[in-house]
Amino acid sequence: MPLIDFTDKGLYCAPGNFYIDPWKSVDHAIITHAHSDHARWGSKNYLCHTDTKPILQLRLGENPYQTLPWGEPIVINGVTVSLHPAGHIIGSSQIRVEYRGEVWVVSGDYKTENDGISSAFEPVPCHTFITESTFGLPIYRWKPQPEIYADIQHWIRKNQADDKASVIIAYSLGKAQRVLQAIAEVTDKIFVHGAIWNTHEVLVQAGWKLPVVRRVTPEVPKEDYRGSVIIAPPSADGTPWMKRFSPYSVGVCSGWMQVRGNARRRNVDAGFPLSDHADWYGLMDAIKATGAQKVFVTHGFQAAFSRYLNENGIEAAEVKTEYGNDEEDAPANVKEGEPEESAVEDINENVE
Amino acid sequence: MSEPSHDIIPGVDSAHAEIQEPGIGLFADLVKVIGTSTKTNDKLEALANYFNTAPDKDKVWVIAIFSGRRPRRVVNSNQLIAWCIEMANIPGWLFGECYHTVGDLGETISLLLPETHDPLTSTAKPLHYYIEHFIKIDKQEEAIRKQFILDSWKEMNQSERYVFNKLITGSFRIGVSQKTMVNALARVTTLDASVIAHRISGNWDPSTVGFAELLDDDVRIIDHSRPYPFYLAYALDEAPETLGDPNDWQVEWKWDGIRGQVIKRNNQLFVWSRGEELMTDKFPEYHILNNLLPEGTVIDGEIIPSVDEKPLPFALLQTRIGRKNITRKQLQDAPITFFAYDLLEFEGEDWRNRPLSERRTKLEEIVQPLNTPILLLSPVVQFNTWTELAEMRRSSREQGAEGFMIKKKSSAYQVGRKVGDWWKWKIDPLVIDAVMIYAQKGSGRRSNLYTDYTFAVRDGDKLVSFTKAYSGLTDKEFAQVDAFVKRNSIEKFGPVRTVKPELVFEIAFEGIAASNRHKSGVALRFPRMSKWRKDKKVEEINTLDDLKKMLEVYGTKS
């Protein structure tokens, strides 16, 4: 019996009797991070990192939440559980599970580059590693964050020179807060969409020092948007909601922008390959750093990624999960895909 | 010994001070702006900027590339893939996976090659250096060409490698119209756009022509082969009655061949296609025109096979395109003729600004007395009312035409696609309802999405595939079909997925011909998805018999 089983409800640890990121209602759920495909509504008890709790409260409502800081082990039914930074978004954690000397680590989503806001990814030695593979092909090699930030800033300055607003499309949790750092270095005229505003407020209340932003509302005079930067979620892109910013230019921040076809298909003015997931090289480094003998590969390019691992001396297998519906995980039909949880807020924002 | 004076080594300082020419990165930046910007004005600005800053020799190559004179392919894809695999140190199958995801060979390679230097300090050489060097070593052995490519890759960053790869694979297709480029050139030179359009058309070699020679206003190089830019029509979307008095308009059949220009100058004959390809040697039938046509004549018309003045289907013309050697049988089966539409130059004088009625009269005076089956007048359709014309339009297919061209009798022969004086009034396409059975990922902007589909009609209990189609759906619909494909795949053959036969589409096409290359026995011309028939079930689609009937009525045997 493996320590973690892949069941129809999610990743299940039988000796500990808990699930990790379940997609169906369970009694005990440990949550890696607050994105909607990993943190689902309906479980009785949640365990997550301290920084994740306020976001879960916003997204899932009041529930029994237990929190843990990074690196502090607790024992659940004889199984030792600890959380370690995954570097994906604020609060995102890898889950380390140890039982009778055997160690498994569930990565959730992760990136290996330190983005300055999500806490740096920490390799955790283990026997078995469960990794994501969103960008598990060698065509995905990210430019260093400072270079991409410089590109974004250059683009904003050019728009300012043309007296245009810069609309940046970024996922409301994670990317929006991250890109805010880059924007604040060139302007203090920053607006955010309602969906991002809600997350922003919760984080500020929880003590995060984020740059000051204004919410986009019908009351804001149109002139205020001139030369400003607006951060909006993917679901707002191309909707009438955007008209008020005219004249404006649209830039999308997403790892998928690495491939020209995706940028062109989205019909955006600029694409910035800024991702909260590890690139191919980051995934490889992370796996090697764990020293794991066995790797399970979840959402992304599972087939290619696990085949490559097997050919290179690391035993790997594909696992089917229901992860991979957040912005970055859904490559082609970002706009037309299943509604994101923020869509409700977006609709309210759009009807005025 | 005295201290060395600065004067002792003159020239060293100035040699160091020599400004280094901008590298291929300048071109890569231009391609990036053109590739991502959605507004013509931004593209125009980027081009004008480029023409203001790039080295002259690079500019000439860019004009050549953007006007369809891209350099020939110098390496084959398999060699390039092998060298990339070697340099990136990855297995071949993984290259294949990446290629399927990116959908573009040059881009895949550019993304896979390891970074070999600091991306901020490019050491790449100018665009013309790479192109001209390549032309130089074109005939040399593989090892030399390989070394050159590997060295070039090493000195470039990712976006430079991308444009470089596109150039050497001969696959540079760029989202900028010739018109936009001409307008950008008009901004940075003293010439009018129409003069530039004419200057950059025709038979010039970017490796020998200088920028000044091409576009300075005081040079008069004589290029006898140079065609005029074609005047193109927009589709008539409104009722023809909106055009007013029928007497003001000249109507001709719209033939389905290749638009072309026949030029007789300096006792030489030149035949150009609309794609500005010189086709004189591809169609030996035309050679006698050099003896027949008067000196200084340029005629606009259609390159089309015909027998007894009746046009043959496009499929026959296709058997002749791209052939270097033409057999006697091909000459017999698909005799190429030229249907003359218009007269652009007469006795060496540019006639384009004279009214169409005058040009037509002169055209008839020239063509009729020749009495040759090679050069025919495209007949003017006689009609009194628009209703009568609409009635005649129904017989287009029987005439071998795809509708009418409607031209104002007073119109000048303009440059490019212009609204107002010329219209094309095409017939509705043929349609058939079919079910999707296979799907494959697209390329370019559709990489990562299943957008290339194969369709089938019913034959009893079986489904028989008969065509592929890639276009006609909105991005949103493509995304929905893509999601369906991912959920309903039955089998996987390499990049192709067999899907549950459930989605029904109306397939529109312009023509149908018998074909023994296809299981269904037919080949369609310009098939595309005209409607997603969500209201229809797979049991309700058309049958193979329906297709065969269409072949009988509209088809042509090839």
Q: A311 and B115: CB-CB below 8 Å?
A: no
Instruction: Give the model confidence (pLDDT) of B236-268 as tens digits.
Output: 988 899 999 999 999 999 998 899 999 999 898
> What are the φ/ψ torsions at residue B42 (nearest 5 degrees)?
-65, -40
Q: B38 and A307: CB-CB below 8 Å?
A: no
E strand intervals along chain A: 5-6, 11-13, 18-20, 28-30, 45-49, 65-68, 74-76, 79-85, 93-99, 102-106, 128-133, 165-169, 190-192, 214-215, 229-232, 248-253, 270-272, 294-300, 315-318
Instruction: Give the model confidence (pLDDT) of B58-101 as tens digits.
Output: 999 999 888 877 777 778 889 999 999 999 999 999 999 999 88
Mean pLDDT for all residues in chain A: 89
Q: B97 and A301: CB-CB below 8 Å?
A: yes
The residues near B380 (Cβ < 8 Å, ≥ 6 apart) are B250, B251, B252, B360
> Could you say which of A265, A269, A301 has the minimum Cβ distance to residue B37?
A269
Chain A residues within an 8 Å CB radius of B447: 259, 261-262
Can you give the pLDDT at residue A325? 62
DSSP string, B326-369: --HHHHHHS-EEEEEEEEEEETTEE-TTS-HHHHHHHHHHHHGG
| CB of B36 less than 8 A from some CB of A | yes
Q: A139 and B108: CB-CB below 8 Å?
A: yes
Give span(s): CATH 3.60.15.10, chain A: 5-140+276-321
Q: B101 and A259: CB-CB below 8 Å?
A: yes
Report helix, strand or coil for B450. strand
Just give the CATH number of B430-554: 2.40.50.140
Just give the CATH number of A145-274+346-350: 3.40.50.12650
Min Cα–Cα distance to chain B from A335, Å: 8
Can you give the pLDDT at residue A241? 93
> Could you say which of A138, A140, A331 has the minimum Cβ distance to residue B448?
A331
Mutate which of B111, B174, B176 to test chain A, going by most A C-beta atoms within 10 A?
A: B111
ipTM at complex level? 0.89
The residues spanned by each domain of chain B are 25-168, 231-426, 430-554
CATH class of A5-140+276-321: alpha beta
Instruction: Give the model confidence (pLDDT) of A189-210 as tens digits.
Output: 999 999 999 999 999 999 999 9
Can you give the pLDDT at residue A269? 83
Give the CATH H-level superfamily of domain B25-168. Answer: DNA ligase, ATP-dependent, N-terminal domain (1.10.3260.10)
Question: Residues in chain A whose beta carbon is closer than 8 A to a beta carbon of chain B?
Answer: 137-141, 143, 147, 258-265, 267-271, 301, 304, 307-308, 311, 331-333, 335-337
* B259 sits in which H/E element: strand B258-265
**Mean pLDDT computed over B99-116:** 90
Topology of the domain covering B231-426 = D-amino Acid Aminotransferase; Chain A, domain 1 (3.30.470)
* B146 sits in which H/E element: helix B142-154
pLDDT at B508 over 70: yes
d(CA A214, CA A63): 30
- Tokens for B267? 């006792």
> Could you say which of A139, A265, A331 has the minimum Cβ distance to residue B98?
A139
User: Hey, what amino acid is at B30?
Assistant: L
- With pLDDT > 90 as the criterion, what percentage of chain B qualifies? 46
CA geometry: angle B318, B322, B323, nearest 5 deg: 100
Sheet containing strand B249-255, strands side by side: B234-235, B422-426, B401-408, B249-255
Q: A139 and B448: CB-CB below 8 Å?
A: no
Burial class (CB in 10 A: 0-12, 13-18, 19+), B523: buried
| CB of B102 less than 8 A from some CB of A | yes
Give span(s): CATH 3.40.50.12650, chain A: 145-274+346-350
| CB of B118 less than 8 A from some CB of A | no
Angle between the N-to-C axes of helices A194-205 and A53-60, in degrees from 0 to 180, rounded to the nearest 10:
140
pLDDT at B5 over 60: no
- Do residues B263 and B297 touch, judged by C-beta distance below 8 A? yes
pLDDT at A75 over 50: yes
| CB of B479 less than 8 A from some CB of A | yes
